[in-house]
């Protein structure tokens, strides 16, 4: 059979496939059409399981071609199963638009078969995850919940009846909740996590690594008091319902320690004797064993939060018209050869076999000419798909002579943005219509966020202030794993223009919304170096949130320094606020007595300098202001500072009346900044800085004379 594997699976292998395949055969084979359908379907599944996706795709297509309405089947389900299988293989190869078409049509054919609907939904969720289509993911999970509850749907099978669908797994609920968090739907996200823990419990073997517990703790800084209270209660129920057999000591210790930590952080929680609960649970398990009962059977379920099934608003799906050909035509036609070459090339490209991918794209481009050039393939034409593939795989290290066309396909939009990001020439970059490309792709797609972040960086370098604010406002509406890059850029920009309080608030908000422990840790390190810039409100928020974050670190064993964080407000925050009050009251000596005791952030150094100047200590004022200036430069990155700025104004003033040895160091420091500004083509600022340097040199020479 053309396009099938070199070796047909053994009888034993095929028997195993039949028993474990997703195709629930419901008929007796009575003719060759049915025989071909079954054979190719199983052969496709065998190759899909073995990882040979292009061959599996062709086998499924051959299976579909064997369906004859008059001679094969009198019901649509076998066809729906093959549509689903083809959709899976298209997704595996990165054919996202074709995958959507096949899966949509599979759903239409599935009728009221709930099991098949659920299988289609899960593949569509994988697709939406890969391309960042968060609204689609949320809708599909809502539909899965409806299926699991045995409820009828409005738009996806009005008379849906069937067996109860298996409820969402823990990993699915965790993913669902994270997508809700990314979509700025925090309350719904926590509701799903808590509901999942209620219904599925906590895995005694995993403990803190249970997907639902892990997801809750990683997002705990955005939880409200009610959600914290529910989680605390669920940990208590977990103790009462624990398996409590040998080897579970670590799990029980985690539950007790977590509840103890929560009580230390949240004043509204009431401490309980959890060790007594553990003792009672162990005694109960012993008693059940002594009476010959099995205490390790089905786990109990506890429901604290009621389910809320949201009504579907999705319209009935359409999809492209699907045509079938006789198997002889499939084996002979150029259309199939082009389709197979492009499918194989996509598969190779996805796994970074660029040489093989490029060769197959090139071969497809040779055949996809004339009347075959306009064949549909993944939302574009076969010729355009081949050209796009040759560019992406860098075939023979040269781009094809024919430029690709930006149409409505994902692959053309994605390539447009990739070329925009990789091009160093501004004139060439202007050729790419990024706005049109971003409208085609889902707004949460990685390449879309990366493009917006790059534009933000460029706007910052060009000092296009209006564009900076517009871009960050747009990016900040998204919750996405790539957004933290833009938060860093925007924070540094705000530091550079001396909007330091806003900079602290921006990074604090980004940290609260960040689910990744590594990024949170990095953000917290920066916040701990800059809270002198925080507003009074943000001082209290920071004090609270860093303590909450510390719960996670202590529970997972990454930190034991809980006491230091718990006392932060008393040790640092209260004294910071006191020093500000004294500063406003012009009690400069008292301010210095506080700040000179290990308060050395750039904001503190700035205040010290003002205090020293007010009490006539010009040398100390100059040195403190220079320290403030250097530290702010370091946090903002030198080339991004705007001139003039307040530190420079003060340093010029102090330089007139100081004999500090640091004046020469300041001149060298400013000269480096001037060079950086020239590299960034910011001539006006560089000229201004040159004048400032000459002024300070004059002051220095006068002092020497």
pLDDT tens digits, one per residue of 183-201: 889 999 999 999 999 989 9
Q: What is the mean pLDDT of residues 304-332?
A: 32
Using the predicted structure, report yes or no on whether residue 56 has a pLDDT greater than 70: yes
Q: What is the mean pLDDT of residues 680-685?
A: 80
pTM of the predicted model, to two decimals? 0.83
Using the predicted structure, report yes or no on whether residue 84 has a pLDDT greater than 60: yes
Backbone angles phi, psi at 381, to 5 degrees: -95, 160
Q: What is the mean pLDDT of residues 474-501?
A: 85
Lowest-confidence range among 59-68, 302-311, 624-633? 302-311
Tell me: the pLDDT tens digits for 686-705?
Answer: 888 888 888 888 876 766 55
- Which residues are CB-neighbours of 348 under 8 A, at least 6 positions away? 354, 356, 357, 360
CB-CB contact of 594 with 578 (8 Å): yes
State how far the Cα of 544 lies from the Cα of 525, in Å rounded to an integer: 16
Task: Give Cα separations from 81 to 60, 77, 517 (angstroms).
Answer: 10, 6, 41
Q: What is the mean pLDDT of residues 48-59?
A: 91
pLDDT band at 71 (very low <50, low <70, confident <90, very high): low
pLDDT band at 558 (very low <50, low <70, confident <90, very high): low
CB-CB contact of 218 with 519 (8 Å): no
Lowest-confidence range among 127-136, 391-400, 447-456, 516-525? 391-400
Q: What is the mean pLDDT of residues 347-375?
A: 91
Average pLDDT, the chain: 83
Percent of the chain with pLDDT over 70: 82
Backbone angles phi, psi at 85, to 5 degrees: -65, -40
Residue 474: predicted pLDDT: 87
Percent of the chain with pLDDT over 90: 44
pLDDT band at 325 (very low <50, low <70, confident <90, very high): very low
Using the predicted structure, report yes or no on whether residue 119 has a pLDDT greater than 70: yes
Residue 668: predicted pLDDT: 86
Residue 172 sits at the vertex; the CA angle it makes with 171 and 175, to the nearest 5 degrees, is 85
Residue 72: predicted pLDDT: 52
Residue 24: predicted pLDDT: 55
- Which residues are CB-neighbours of 681 under 8 A, at least 6 positions away? none
Residue 399: predicted pLDDT: 53
Using the predicted structure, report yes or no on whether residue 300 has a pLDDT greater than 70: no
Q: Structure tokens of 587?
A: 């009690």
Tell me: the pLDDT tens digits for 239-274?
Answer: 988 888 888 888 899 999 899 989 988 989 999 998
Lowest-confidence range among 35-49, 142-156, 442-456? 142-156
Residue 402: predicted pLDDT: 61
Scanning the structure block, which residue is given the tokens 């045995």? 150
């Amino acid at each position: 059979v053309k396009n099938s594997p070199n070796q047909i699976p053994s009888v034993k292998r095929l028997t195993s496939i039949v028993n474990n395949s997703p195709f629930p055969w419901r008929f007796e084979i009575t003719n060759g059409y049915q025989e071909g359908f079954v054979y190719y379907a199983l052969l496709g599944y065998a190759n899909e399981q073995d990882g040979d996706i292009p061959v599996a795709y062709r086998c499924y297509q051959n299976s579909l071609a064997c369906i004859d309405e008059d001679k094969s089947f009198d019901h649509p389900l076998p066809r729906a199963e093959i549509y689903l299988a083809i959709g899976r293989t298209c997704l595996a190869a990165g054919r996202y638009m074709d995958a959507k078409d096949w899966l949509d049509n599979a759903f239409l054919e599935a009728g009221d078969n709930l099991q098949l609907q659920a299988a289609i939904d899960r593949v569509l969720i994988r697709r939406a995850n890969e391309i960042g289509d968060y609204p689609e993911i949320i809708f599909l999970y809502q539909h899965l919940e409806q299926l699991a509850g045995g409820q009828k749907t409005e738009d996806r099978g009005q008379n849906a009846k069937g067996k109860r669908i298996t409820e969402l797994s823990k990993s699915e609920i965790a993913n669902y909740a994270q997508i809700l968090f990314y979509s700025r739907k925090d309350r719904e996200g926590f509701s799903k996590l808590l509901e999942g823990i209620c219904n599925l419990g906590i895995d005694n073997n995993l403990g803190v690594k249970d997907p639902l517990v892990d997801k809750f703790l990683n997002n705990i800084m955005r939880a409200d008091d009610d959600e914290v209270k529910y989680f605390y209660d669920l940990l208590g129920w977990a103790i009462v319902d624990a398996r409590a057999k040998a080897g579970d000591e670590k799990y029980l210790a985690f539950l007790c320690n977590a509840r103890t930590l929560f009580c230390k952080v949240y004043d509204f929680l009431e401490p309980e004797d959890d060790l007594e609960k553990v003792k009672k649970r162990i005694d109960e398990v012993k008693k059940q064993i002594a009476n010959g009962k099995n205490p390790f059977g089905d786990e109990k379920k506890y429901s604290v939060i009621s389910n809320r099934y949201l009504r579907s608003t999705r319209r009935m799906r359409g999809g492209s018209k699907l045509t079938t050909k006789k198997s002889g035509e499939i084996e002979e036609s150029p259309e199939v050869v082009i389709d197979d070459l492009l499918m194989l090339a996509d598969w190779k490209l996805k796994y970074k076999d660029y040489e093989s991918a490029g060769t197959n794209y090139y071969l497809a481009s040779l055949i996809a000419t004339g009347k075959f050039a306009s064949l549909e393939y993944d939302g574009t034409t076969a010729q355009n798909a081949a050209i796009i593939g040759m560019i992406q795989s860098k075939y023979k290290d040269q781009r094809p002579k024919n430029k690709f066309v930006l149409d409505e396909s994902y692959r053309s939009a994605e390539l447009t943005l990739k070329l925009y990001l990789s091009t160093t020439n501004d004139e060439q970059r202007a050729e790419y219509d990024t706005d049109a490309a971003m409208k085609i792709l889902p707004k949460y797609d990685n390449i879309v966020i990366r493009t917006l972040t790059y534009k933000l960086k460029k706007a910052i370098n060009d000092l296009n202030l209006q564009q900076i604010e517009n871009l960050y406002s747009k990016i900040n509406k998204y919750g996405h794993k790539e957004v933290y890059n833009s938060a860093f850029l925007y924070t540094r920009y705000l530091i550079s223009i001396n909007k330091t309080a806003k900079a602290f608030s921006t990074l604090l908000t980004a940290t609260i919304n960040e689910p990744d422990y590594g990024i949170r840790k990095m953000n917290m390190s920066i916040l701990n170096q800059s809270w002198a810039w925080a507003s009074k409100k943000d001082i209290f928020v920071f004090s609270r949130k860093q303590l909450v974050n510390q719960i996670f670190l202590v529970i997972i064993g990454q930190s034991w320094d809980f006491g230091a964080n718990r006392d932060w407000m008393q040790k640092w925050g209260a004294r910071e606020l006191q020093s500000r009050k004294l500063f406003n009251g012009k009690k400069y000596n008292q301010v210095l007595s506080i700040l000179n005791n290990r308060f050395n952030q750039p904001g503190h150094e700035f205040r010290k300098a003002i205090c020293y100047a007010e009490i006539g200590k010009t040398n100390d004022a100059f040195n403190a202001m220079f320290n403030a200036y250097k530290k702010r430069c370091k946090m903002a990155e030198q080339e991004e500072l705007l001139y003039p700025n307040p530190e420079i104004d003060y340093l010029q003033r102090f330089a007139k009346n100081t004999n500090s040895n640091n004046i020469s160091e300041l001149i060298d420091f400013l000269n480096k900044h001037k060079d950086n500004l020239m590299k960034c083509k910011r001539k006006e600022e560089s000229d201004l800085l040159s004048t400032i340097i000459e002024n300070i040199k004059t002051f220095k020479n006068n002092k020497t004379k």
